[in-house]
Amino acid sequence: MTEEAIIEFKDCSIFQIDNLVLSNVSFNLNPGEFIYLIGKVGSGKTSLIKTINAQIPLKKGEAKVAGYDLTTLKRKQVPYLRRKLGIVFQDFQLLTDRSVEANLEFVLRSTGWKDKKIIRKKISEVLEKTELLYKSFKMPHQLSGGEQQRVVIARALLNDPEIILADEPTGNLDPETSEEIIRTLMDISKAGRAVIMATHNYTLLKKFTARTLKCEDCKVYEVDHGEEFDFTEMME
């Protein structure tokens, strides 16, 4: 295992219960690197993300995520691993009965933060990074889809994670808003965090090029953007 990689998989097989989803998965991701994860529906993208955050146990191969060995990871270590991960969902999963600030405060308090001054400071920092500082009093239904997704990104940043896992974060957004979200995620990676973004949006891939892994036929391989590549395959 290399010292600089924040995520490293070597000859891993990923199973959903007893069904093999991906085999011989090998890749590295370094701090500050942005990577797309593409593939058809059912090709294993979400299973790979769930393996990274220890929702799916790794049964075969070697893998390290943020310093944790997935092959020997104990149940009591899982919460500590997940504190190093920020998750961005397609469907937001915001608490609809409370404001943006209260949503973020709920996450901090549920992960052990108690000091009110520190909580306020951390909330202000992530809202500033996502350009939502003046929306903190709004309820989720008062925000646009793009603003709600930026709240989700702010929530993912609260515990200062080393890795952001974004699973189809632009799936419910219009093209212009999708571009805003990808710029935000790329800025986050430039600030030193590793970002993995699973997506079907081939228009974004062509406009905002980055390293790309493709799940296909139970394998994961790197796409060479220097070669002719049909992104429309992803939409099948």
pTM of the model: 0.87
Distance (Å, whole) CA 4 – CA 201: 30
Q: Which residues contact 174 (CB under 8 A, 6 or more apart)?
A: 145, 146
Helix axes 145-157, 100-110, angle to 10 degrees: 30
Quick count: other Cβ atoms within 10 Å of Cβ 134?
A: 8
pLDDT tens digits for range 40-85: 888 889 899 999 999 999 989 999 999 999 999 999 898 889 889 9
**Token pair 């790979």: residue:** 48
pLDDT tens digits for range 164-198: 999 888 888 888 989 999 999 999 999 999 999 99
Domain residue limits, the chain: 7-84+161-235
| Closest residue by Cα to residue 64 from 55, 47, 52, 75 | 52
Distance (Å, whole) CA 7 – CA 1: 10
Determine the topology of domain 7-84+161-235 in CATH: Rossmann fold (3.40.50)
**Token pair 């069904």: residue:** 19
**Inter-residue contact 88 to 167 (CB < 8 Å):** yes
pLDDT tens digits for range 2-42: 558 999 999 999 998 889 999 999 999 999 999 999 998 88
